[in-house]
Structure 1
Amino acid sequence: MKLYKSLTIIFLCVLMVSCGASITEVKQDLSITTNAQNDAVTLGDNLEFSLNNPKNHPIENVSFTLDGNSVTSNEALINMKLGTHDLEASFSVNGEQASISKSITILNNQTPKIYTYTIINEYPHDMSSYTQGLEFYNGELYEGTGQYRESKLRKVDYKTGEVLKNIDLPNEYFGEGITIMNDKIYQLTWKKGTGFVYDVNTFEKTGSFKYGNSLEGWGICNDGSKLYKSDGTEKIWTLNPETLVEEEYIQAYHNKGKVVELNELEWVNEKIYANRWNKNGVAIINPENGAVEGVIDFTPLKDSVKQHPKLDVLNGIAYNPETGTLFVTGKYWDKLFEVEITEK
């Protein structure tokens, strides 16, 4: 009987870590310690980390990964995307594998530059348009509008405001941003998780696509080969141009934190320009790492349009490569402004 009890105790100790602590309990006792103040570190700085084991559990084979890539302590964080990252410690206890993780935020190492604007021209704009997307393509202006039962896709003579071509979206869709690439118009909708594809010449709908990981559609732009999509958060998703599947994302961050509610997007000279919802401003974002490198404050423009009860925020950015200028407007604005951007 004594032998039986002894074997039972030994057997139980094999099942339990440290003869009394389960693997779950061991993990609860462990933590990852870093030099990141408030779990944030600046791009280019060294990230130091270690596994804190205050109860001295018998741990072996400790290794670390950052977003799944092997990393060692005190490495400089260069060529990294900004935003939140998963720092994971893997280890073994009595031959059993386990891991714990910690979220680390990488901030930009530079303060955003401040830009101002000069108005070059003012053009008429349909005051009934709840502007969501604005895009020049082959010298012609296209616009997507929102609101249920009011959403449209249009081709517009920007100098006169005349609508040259128009289609209405089905009533159940709330139209969002648009972009045009290779003679295809891509238009997002807000909460249906669906985008539409049209022939730019005929406005015939040729396809649709689902968003996948993001829940909403806000803004969209392209660099000539890839599509970039915002979802109302700090994330900008890259879409495969063939399948339109969301493949990866960047997170918009400056040196203090994240920039959320990114709305209409425009590709301008290798950067992403993003309207910020309810801010009447535009963030200039590095598409490689998400760094907010500049900010344009367009707040005064709202005072230059007709004031009326439905007047809403700035939204709509279109870059005209033929003139090298930006065209901006807003929701229910009666003017389209052509502006030139300069550093303040």
Structure 2
Amino acid sequence: MFQRILISSLCALICLPSLAQPPVLLPQVLNTYPHDTSAFTQGLLWHEGALYESTGLRGRSSLRRVDIESGIPEVNLPLDDAYFAEGLERVGDRLIQLTWQSGRAFVYDFPSLELIETIEYTGEGWGLCSDGRLLFMSDGSSYLSLRDQDSFELIFRGAVTLDGQLIPPQLLNELECVGEHIYANAWNTDYIFRIDKYTGAINALIDASGLLSDAERASLSPGSVLNGIAYNPQSQTFYITGKNWGALFEVVFIQP
């Protein structure tokens, strides 16, 4: 029921007749790689030929470095069973991994992945990305929090809007900062939002519903939704996947 309410709310906004309605883009698949079906993907990051992944659920949360060709983790660091891991981002020589409701972020040395610090924050942690100056964080609300990259202190909270209206809460999930945009998985939907980082306005909707076949969708367990966006600046392509999906897709976003 909750999923239907969220999708209905999103559809109501998307379907509003307006000249300002943002374009709908599609992911064009360039390559498909295997993905560990035990990985409940919460955060995804690409850096210098390696894929880093934060996986969630209590008792199953981890930080991983993954070989993209095989989908097999080269490093798999489990979190304490008390934590539900969430978004992941690199800031210089550190990786920052959020937790959902524990109010803690774990900071790892990069690239050794040695845990070096724990940061406390108020509220929930969902997605995290950096534009090189600031961290953008989603928290289950209709807003993005802007944080200092060094201290993690909250600087500002900005509303995210679609066609001039505040989006419903519990949509903004995993984040990826690319240029002037923030890409955000819309939780429990097949959409990715492209958000103007300066205004908070969604200026494109990416419809990823065609990535999986009906048979592949039928084989997924409840909650195994689209989640995980990583950008490769060398190839200018994106890697996207879902929670417990068996595939990772390298894509570009195109106008249909």
Q: TM-score range by the shorter chain?
A: 0.7 to 0.9
CA distance in 2, matches of 1:118, 1:153: 28
Displacement of 1:281 in angstroms is: 0.9
Which residue is 1:251 aligned to? 159
2:233 to 293, 307, 321: 321
Which residue pairs with 1:308 in the alignment? Answer: 219
Structure 2 counterpart of 1:290? 200
Choose which of 238, 256, 260 in structure 1 pairs with 2:146: 238
User: Which residues in structure 2 correspond to 1:32-43 (within 5 Å)?
Assistant: none
> 1 CA distance for matches of 2:217 and 2:162?
34
The alpha carbon displacement at 1:138 in A equals 2.0
Superposition CA RMSD, Å? 1.7
Pick closer, same or farther for the CA change 1:226–1:122 going to 2, 3 Å.
same
Distance in structure 2 (CA, Å) of the matches to 1:115 and 1:123: 22
Q: Specify which structure has the bigger relative contact order, considering alpha-carbon pairs within 8 angstroms and separated by 6 or more residues.
A: 2
Matched with 2:38 is 128
What does the per-residue CA deviation read over 1:187-212, in whole Å, with 9 as the maximum and x for residues that have no partner?
00000111111012221111121223
Q: Distance in 1 between matches of 2:217 and 2:187?
A: 20
SS at 1:274's partner residue? strand
Percent of counterpart pairs with the same letter?
38
The answer to whether the 8 A contact 1:306-1:334 is kept is: no
TM-score (norm 2): 0.87
Structure 1: runs of 5+ lacking an equivalent: 1-107
Work out the number of aligned pairs and report it. Answer: 235
Q: TM-score scaled to structure 1, two decimals? A: 0.66
Gaps of 5+ in 2: 1-17
Instruction: Tell me how far apart the structure 2 counterparts of residues 139 and 236 of structure 1 sit (CA, whole Å).
Output: 29
Aligned AA for 1:295? L
Q: Which has the larger radius of gyration?
A: 1
CA distance, structure 1, for counterparts of residue 59 and residue 120 of structure 2 = 21
For the 8 Å contact 1:185–1:200, the answer to whether it is kept is yes
Helix, strand or coil: the match of 1:135? strand
1:343 aligns with 2:255: yes
Mapped contact 1:151–1:169 kept (Cα < 8 A): yes
Q: Is residue 101 of structure 2 the alignment partner of residue 191 of structure 1?
A: yes
Amino acid at match of 2:134: K
Q: CA deviation at 1:275?
A: 0.2
Q: Answer with 312-321 or 301-310: which moved more.
A: 301-310
1:67-216 matched pairs, under 5 angstroms? 110-212=20-122, 215-216=123-124
Mapped partners of 1:157, 1:298: distance in 2: 24
Cα distance in 1 for partners of 2:55, 2:241 equals 12
